Amino acid sequence: MIENPPKTLGPVKAKLAENLIIGMGLLALFLIFQPFSIVLFGIGCALVVFSGLANNLLPVCKAEKTWKDLARTAMIIGIIFSVVLTFALSSAYLYGVYLQSQ
């Protein structure tokens, strides 16, 4: 029986993914430093965090890697971010409780 080879990103799609991640970071910086709208500044701040996390995907954006590798890496990054965010928010809440008890 003939098995299908795993679908790789290919050179064009790998370069496109890499350019989209870098472009997202540049857009975020532009939105932060634009002087016109506070709403765009807020969107830029959120986009900086997201593009900073997406920069961890750049080593996986290679032509020989598969889509499964890219998705697995994105899930790992998302899980780590969620755990760290949970710890940070929990510690901030508990510190507030501690300060109110003083």
Taking the chain (102 residues) in runs of 10, the rounded mean pLDDT of each run is 74 91 94 93 94 92 89 94 96 96 89
CA angle 47, 53, 59 (to 5 degrees): 130
The domain limits of the chain are 10-101
Predicted structure pTM score: 0.78
- Residues pairing with 66 in the sheet: 8
